[in-house]
Every structure is written in C-alpha cells, then in structure tokens.
Amino acid sequence: MKTTSQPQSRGFSLVEVLAAVGIIGIIAFLALPNIIAIKQDSERNLAISRAESVNMAIASYVQSKGRTAAVSTWSTLANDSARYAEIAPYLAFAPDNFTDFQPGGFTIDIPDDITKLTKSVLKEGTATISY
C-alpha cells in the first residue's frame, strides 16, 4: 500500500527571513559611520586640492605676467572673486564664479598681496585648515 505524504514547502520560514533582515541591518548599522567619514574626508581632500590649485595658479600667473606687472595688476583687484577671475585661465578646473569652485562648507581666501607668494588660506567654517 502506498502512503501519501504532504508536499514539502520550498520557501523560507518567517524566522529565517527575520534573521536575514536582522543581519543585514546590523551590517548597515556598522558600515554607515564609515561611509559618512569617507565622504567627509573626500570633501576635505577636495578642498585642500582646490586651495593648492589656487596657489599653483597664482605662481603661474606671476611667471607668465612677470613679477612687477603681476603685483601691480593684483593690487588693483578688490576681492577674491576678482582675483579668481584673474587666475582662472591658469586653473585646470575653473567654473565661472568663485563660489562654485569652493567645495561646500569650505572657503578659500586668496591672498591680497602676491609679492611674497603667500599661500591661500583654507577654512572649514571658522576654523583654519593647515595644508
């Protein structure tokens, strides 16, 4: 005589699904702070790179114009936006205005006087970043 058995279910039980969701949640909880830190570090590195680019553009500007002509032209420029417009041709990446060039949360102060080729100042909020 043949016995018939009930067909076995091939799906996952509720406990198995909840365990998998719990494990994925724990992994996401542990990884999220690292992802946020990596994003903040990359923003900071971008800001440092842009400030260094400004310094190199100023040096190139002085070399191409000649020190005397560059210093006399530079002294007539009123603000960072005007100075940025003057050195923009010497930058590899130069949007139309200076605010688009600066990464979010960071400001780059272009030096007022270029006779000694001082570095630009990079700030995050009110704190000055040395680079």
pLDDT tens by residue, 28-64 = 999 999 999 999 999 999 999 999 999 999 999 999 9
d(CA 76, CA 18): 69
Domain that holds residue 66: 16-129
Count of CB atoms situated within 10 Å of the CB of 62: 20
d(CA 55, CA 91): 10
Q: Is residue 3 part of a domain?
A: no
Q: Is residue 35 part of a domain?
A: yes
Residue 2 pLDDT exceeds 80: no
Q: Is residue 7 part of a domain?
A: no
pTM comes to 0.74
| Residue 78 burial class via C-beta count within 10 angstroms: exposed 0-12, middle 13-18, buried 19 and up | exposed
Residue 6 pLDDT exceeds 70: no
**How many domains are contained in the chain?**
1
Q: Is residue 5 part of a domain?
A: no
Q: Identify the pLDDT of residue 10.
A: 81
Q: Identify the pLDDT of residue 49.
A: 96
